[in-house]
Every structure is written in C-alpha cells, then in structure tokens.
Amino acid sequence: MRTLLFTLLLIPALSSTPGNDASLPGSTYSADGPLPIGAPMPKGDVRIKDVSGKEITLQQVRQANGLLVMFSCNTCPYVIANQGRTKEVGAYAGNRQIGVVLLNANEGDRSGGNSFAEMQAYAKGQSYPFYYAMDNNSTLADAFGASRTPECYLFDKNGKLVYHGAIDDSPGDPASVKKPHLQNAIDEMVSGKEVSTKETRSVGCSIKRA
C-alpha cells in the first residue's frame, strides 16, 4: 500500500521529468497525427511475439465483436498505477468477445527494463489473462501514430477504429474516476450504438523508439 501511494504521489511530478516524458494530452508521434476514427486496423498481418513465445497477429487476436489494442510497457509509472484498471477493462472486453493485446513498443529501452525476458516476468507477475507482445522496431506504434503508455485503440467487428485515448478521466487516482471512457465505448460498440466519446486525451510516458 505504501509503494502504491508513493507511486500515485510521484505521478504529478513526472510531467517535468525528461526520462519518463510524461505528456499532457494531445501529444502524438506521427507527423500526420494518430490513426483517425473510422480508419481500418493497420498492420493486421504483422507477426508479433507474445510473452508465451507464440507468434500472433492483430487479425488473429480480434474476436467476434472487435479488438482492443493498448500500448503499454513494464516501467512507466502511469502504466504501473493503472495496472488494476488495465486488467479490469481487459477482462471486461474479453467477456464481450473483444480480443485484447498489450503492445510494448519501447524499442529504445530494451536494455532498460523492457526486454522480452523482462516482459515475460512482468506479465507473469501481473497474471495477465490477455496477450502482451513485443512491437519490434515500434512498427505497430508507428502505424497507429501511438506516442504514449498507456494508450488505447478500440476496433469494432469490422476492424474500424471507434475509440482512441485513455482508459478513463483520472489516470493518477482510481478513486476519482468519473468517466470510464474505454468501458463506455465498449458498451456502446457492443450494443450497436455509435460511440459517443470517440477520442480522449491520454496521459503517460513517451514510447521510447530506437
């Protein structure tokens, strides 16, 4: 409990910490901006290696009602502080026939805590019930225009992007969540409704590209 409280207290200070490069909302890596709402899922056939050792593709992970892709890592304090919510929303999506995959695109930090072996240990420690795969050379992150961890992309059953952004409106304090953006988007998508909030601002650490 003391470690968690320290982590949550540390988060606000990270916005000025170069090493973690915590971002205020709206930052993107791609010069053309992130993948636009309504766009088809990119690089669906690119083979990526899951922590199980199995090679998968996004098309293979996608289920009857769609796919949730979350860019994540082992080391970002925002990711660590959001682990409970990540697992909850991942299970929520999985129970609604939505495939789930977390991608580690920190190609520039493979020797600093984001190696494949460290990903395997991290996933085991978290008891991840979904895929956690290495995005070699940040190929998928580049295609998505992803820049942060955590950063979420929700695709419908036709492989079209319907939501992009944060898990909820309070990345630093789970007790203060008022709008569970991602869960709401899942509910609306599965029920056949148009997603009402299609984009939100993600706050987190920068993806460390090589």
Domain range summary for the chain, segments of one domain joined by +:
2-206
Residues 6+ apart with CB under 8 A from 25: 200, 201, 202, 203
Residue type (1 letter), 196: S
User: What pLDDT sits at residue 3?
Assistant: 45
The sign of the CA dihedral 102, 200, 37, 30 is negative
User: What pLDDT sits at residue 34?
Assistant: 86
Task: Give φ, ψ of 78 to 5 degrees.
Answer: -65, -40
Could you tell me if 96 and 186 are in contact, meaning their C-beta atoms sit under 8 angstroms apart?
Answer: yes
The 10 Å CB-count burial string (b at 16+, else e) for 20-39 is: bbbbeeebbbeeeebbeeeb
User: What pLDDT sits at residue 179?
Assistant: 96
Choices 3.60.15.10, 3.90.950.20, 3.40.30.10, 3.40.47.10: CATH for 2-206: 3.40.30.10
User: What pLDDT sits at residue 13?
Assistant: 38
pTM score, whole prediction: 0.86
Task: Spell out the per-residue pLDDT of the chain, length 210, in tens.
Answer: 444 444 444 444 333 333 344 433 333 444 467 899 999 999 999 999 999 999 999 999 999 999 999 999 999 999 999 999 999 999 999 999 999 999 999 999 999 899 999 999 999 999 999 999 999 999 999 999 999 999 999 999 999 999 999 999 998 888 899 999 999 999 999 999 999 999 999 999 999 999
